[in-house]
Each structure stands twice: as structure tokens, then as C-alpha cells.
Chains A and B, each alone.
With several copies, the nearest count.
Chain A
Amino acid sequence: MINFENVSKHYDTQTALRNITFSIEKGEMAFITGLSGSGKTTLLKLIYLSEKPDEGTISIDSRELNTLKESEIPLLRRKIGFVFQDFRLLNNRNVFENIALALRIRGINDKDVKTRVFDALKTVNLRHKADYYPDTLSGGEQQRVVIARAIVSEPTVLLADEPTGNVDPDTSAGIMRTFKNINATGTTIIIATHNRELFRDTGRRVLKLDNGNLVSEERG
């Protein structure tokens, strides 16, 4: 479903990804790991088209991303849910509205928005924080709001960037359970993380990056 072929990405002086080739199957749940600064976030951003590769080709559902017209980018993104490492929550909107935004953008009506947002909030155990503003939440709570926003639109692909960096092991396990459930409904999931606990003994594929190179592909 997602194909990287000889993809490289350079920032000014920094090479973030070097000649990366791999593919993720439809319905797969895969992990990307590697040291801090090894290129995990960059890789996810390339799939989301929020960065463009300098070399190589990336395709999703056999569609090459560099042939996409600008007006097709939002449509691509609507198929993908992204758990941003830096959260990107809007501090001038409460938790409910932050999550609802992902649905409003898709033109979904108010009634459906309401039920789906509350469902997502229940999934991450934050139903009671719906009226709070992000800057009044704890770090872990914010992270769970971001996860709720990513899954509320029921995307066909879910990209999660360090989704458990700010939560305790119990909450972390809960989040992984949620991901597994979503995966079971056919959603393709890619999780970037440095937390080995997440993929230990899962039997899932783990791609390891080192300084921009794809150095190994193992099973967790």
C-alpha cells in the first residue's frame, strides 16, 4: 500500500533520510524506530506530503505522490490520521472542538460530529475533559487528545509519531490496545517510536533507522 523507492531527503546541511526503500502492506501495523534525530518523523512527514522527497518516489495505493496536484493534497491527508509528535493542538479551542475539527474539515454534520468525537474521547479515557482547553491539560492528556483527533475520522492509514512519549506504561498499553483494535478493522498503521516496549513480542515488522539509513528490518 505504501511504497518507498530510493527515497532521500536533505535539509540544508542535514541529510534526514538516505536512499530508503521499503513497502508497507495494506492492513499492516509496522514500527519505525531509531535514535533521536535518525529520521523517523521525516519519514512519516513524507508519507503525509508535509515534506517532499529530494530523490526517489513514494506511492500510496499505487498512486505516485509527486504526480499529485496541489488540490489533491488535502484529499490525500483526509485518508490519513496523524498523531503529531509536537501535538499541534489549538489552544484557543477546547478539547471537543480540537477533535471535531478533523471531522468539520470533511464536512460532516454536527450530530455525527458529536457522537464520533465523544466516542473517540472515551477511547482515550478523556470524556471528562471535553470542555477543557489543551493548555490546561497534563502532557499525557494532551497526547491522548492528539490520538483521539487522529482516529476520529476513521482513516485508512494511521501515522503515529511517538504516541506514548508523555504517558505512563499503563496508559501506553491502553493506547496500543486501541491501535490494535483499529488495525483489526483494516486500517494500516505506522508507529514511530523509541520505546521498545511498544513492539516487544508483537511479531510486527520493525524498521530501524540510523542517521537517515534504513539499517534493519526485524520482527518485534
Chain B
Amino acid sequence: MATFAFRLALRSILHEKWINLLSILAIAASLLITALTVLSVYNVDVATQKLPERFSMMLYLKDKLSGGEVENIMNTLKKEHAVESVKYIPKDQALKELKTMLKGTDHVLEGLEENPLPDSIEIKLKKEAVGTETAQQLSTRLRETKGVDDVEYGEKFLFAISSIKTGVKTIGILFIMIMSASVIFVCYSTVKILFYRKKEEIETYKLLGATKGFIRAPFIIEGAFIGLSGGLLSLLGILLVYYIVIFRLSHTIPIFNALIFPANISFLLPPIGLSLGIAGAAIAIGRIRY
């Protein structure tokens, strides 16, 4: 009886190859788009996670502070929640750095008799604090601190990056939700249509005395086949995209080199397709009544 169910399913798949092919393609496309969206969001996340490390908050100190006063400020800073680490930069070192920065044209500074730069403290913020309002508030607060001349913090730029991140994530999640829904939708409606098309056949089965399991089995198998095929096809698609992006495009467009492809996750596509196919079929068949 089990083999007959398989034969029936195979028969239906071959016989209705057209609609099955369409469904498989639709599921493959939906899964592929979902996977690509997941990858995009993942990549944007990884990329922007690295960015903040390069930015720090600069504290310019008033002239001629005593070592104790500097120590004091450093200690206050260390107690701040948002602060990861602090580093004291004496003005001599700052000048050296400025000279390195202006390199070719460092004769600009050659005529200086006295170092015009202030001492400063470089503050590295905790990752999660970068670009947030907390950091902004911190910079305003520090500006008022005794002994501090000025605070430099690239708020706008950092805030923009953090916004992009949030934005991409929000849109991405929305997108993943829409696409996931559409995969389920395709599976469901495919089986529903197949089931609907076989309404008369099912009616005859019931009339001849077939049990519910006997009627359901071929549809479940067919749904599983469609889902699995769609999953396999989307895996093929993502490997193709992977190939094109990594081996082709990255030669001409170097930024693609930075993309990360979690290949293991891609291999989840076939089982996901399979499960969705079976679930869709089961839902679509629904309850069989005599």
C-alpha cells in the first residue's frame, strides 16, 4: 500500500508536471529571495559591526593641568557605563601624529617654536554605545567637566551609520517575513490547487472505500517532493549567486570580497523546503470527511 502511494504520487507528479514545475520554481524563487535577504542583512550587520571600532571620542584638556587632575578625569571616565577604554595622549605625541598626518606638507609645522596642541584623552566607547544618544549625552556632559577644554565626537556620522544599520535590519526583517509568508503561501496554494483539481478523484476514492491515510499519503508525498525540489533548486541558485559574486564580480567590484557567505546555512534550504512542503500539503488537505 505504501508503494502504491508512492506510485500515485509519482504518477501525479509526472502527469501534472507543468503545474508542479511552476510550483517548484515559485518555491525556489521565494526561498532564494529569502535566503539572499538573510545574507544581505547578515552582511550589513557584520560590516557595520566592524565600523564603530575605528571611531573614538576625543577629550581636549585645558592647558597646564597637574598630573593629579588628569588622573582624576581619567578615573571619572573609566566609571562611565558607555566607556570601553581611555588613553592619555600628551601634546608632544599629538604633534608627532599631526606631522605624520600632514606628511608631505609637514613643513607647514616646521616654523613652530612651541607645541600649539593641547593634551588630550582618547575614549573608546563600548560597541553598543557608539552612535547612540547615551554617547551624545556623555559628550555634552564631559564638555562641562572641570579641566576639559573641548570634546570632539563625530556624532552625526556615527548616528547616520547606526541609523542605516537599524534601517536595513528593519527592512530586512520585514522582507524576510513577507517572503517566508509567500513560501508558505505558495506551498499551501499549490497543494490546495492540486487537491482541488483532484476533488472528483478523491470523492471517488472515498466512495470506493479508501481510508483517510490512503487518500492523504500521495498528496503528502507530492507536497514533500515539491518542497524538497524547490529547496534543492534554491540551494543551487544560491550556490550560483555565490559563484558569480565571489569568483566573478569580486574581480571587477572589489567590495564583494568583503561579503560573507555562511554556506552551512544555505544547506538548510532543502530540509526547510521539505518541511514547508509537507506542512503546506497537510494544511491544504485539511480534514477528510466521509
Q: Are A49 and B214 in contact (CB under 8 A)?
A: no
User: A90-B201, A105-B214 in contact; A82/B4 too (CB < 8 A)?
Assistant: no
The residue of chain A having its C-beta at the shortest distance from the C-beta of B7 within the complex is: A104
The residue of chain A having its C-beta at the shortest distance from the C-beta of B206 within the complex is: A74
A92 to B12, CA, bound (A): 10
Q: Are B204 and A88 in contact (CB under 8 A)?
A: yes
Q: Which of A134-152 contact B (CB under 8 A)?
A: 149
Tell whether B205 is near chain A: CB-to-CB under 8 Å. yes
A45 to B91, CA, bound (A): 101
User: A49-B290, A70-B289 in contact; A90/B208 too (CB < 8 A)?
Assistant: no
Q: Give chain B's interface secondary structure class.
A: helix
Contacts of A82 in B (CB 8 A): 207
Q: Are A106 and B209 in contact (CB under 8 A)?
A: yes
Contact of A101 among B1, B203, B208, B212 (CB under 8 A): B208
Contact of A92 among B4, B15, B207 (CB under 8 A): B15
Min C-beta distance of B70 to chain A, whole Å: 83
Total interface residues on B, using CB and 8 Å? 18
Contacts of A149 in B (CB 8 A): 208
Min C-beta distance of B97 to chain A, whole Å: 81
Q: Are A105 and B15 in contact (CB under 8 A)?
A: no
Min C-beta distance of A31 to chain B, whole Å: 23
Min C-beta distance of B177 to chain A, whole Å: 37
User: A104-B4, A105-B209, A105-B214 in contact; A74/B204 too (CB < 8 A)?
Assistant: no
Contact of B208 among A71, A76, A77, A92 (CB under 8 A): A77
**Chain B residues in contact with chain A, CB under 8 A?**
1, 4, 15, 200-201, 203-212, 214, 289-290
**Chain A residues in contact with chain B, CB under 8 A?**
48-50, 70-71, 73-78, 80, 82, 84, 88, 90, 92, 101-102, 104-107, 149
Sample 5 A-B pairs with CB under 8 A, ordered by A number. Answer: A74-B211, A77-B208, A88-B204, A101-B205, A102-B208
